[in-house]
Copies of this chain bind each other. A is one copy, B any other.
């Protein structure tokens, strides 16, 4: 069973060590096992879970909601419907963001073309 020191876990997830601790403190990650001396030891399932978190985070889910999701995940199968609902809602939010970006892109492209045509004139 592969294990990872904090630095290694940070490198593999793209999340800083401080943020790893922060995520643990606020309950986004379950308490991470320790060495006898108290140093954290991450495992593959931690990294996988962190992968899910960063995906949600990067797509704009607020930490508050990720927390709710994490909490439900901790509570087992009975919460699967609720978790599905959260993801479906998030999916809509992501689609909305994408639509907003697409629209902004159109405007930006227009302006870019305007500047370019000015330059070549």
Which A positions have Cβ atoms within 8 angstroms of B? Answer: 52, 55-56, 58-60, 80-81, 83-84, 87-88, 90-91, 94-95, 97-98, 100-105, 107-109, 111-112, 115-116, 118-119
Q: Which residues of B contact A91 (CB under 8 A)?
A: 105, 108-109, 112
- Assembly CA distance A101 to B92 (angstroms): 12
The residue that A94 contacts in the complex, of B90, B94, B105, with Cβ under 8 A, is: B105
Q: Do B95 and A98 touch across chains, with their CB atoms under 8 A apart?
A: no
With A80-B115, A91-B109 known to touch, is A101 a contact of B104 (CB < 8 Å)?
A: no
> What would be 23 A-B contacts, judged by CB atoms less than 8 Å apart?
A55-B103, A55-B104, A55-B107, A55-B108, A58-B100, A58-B104, A59-B104, A60-B101, A80-B115, A80-B118, A83-B115, A84-B112, A84-B119, A88-B112, A90-B108, A91-B109, A94-B101, A94-B104, A94-B108, A95-B105, A97-B101, A98-B98, A98-B102
Q: Which residues of B contact A105 (CB under 8 A)?
A: 59, 91, 94-95, 98
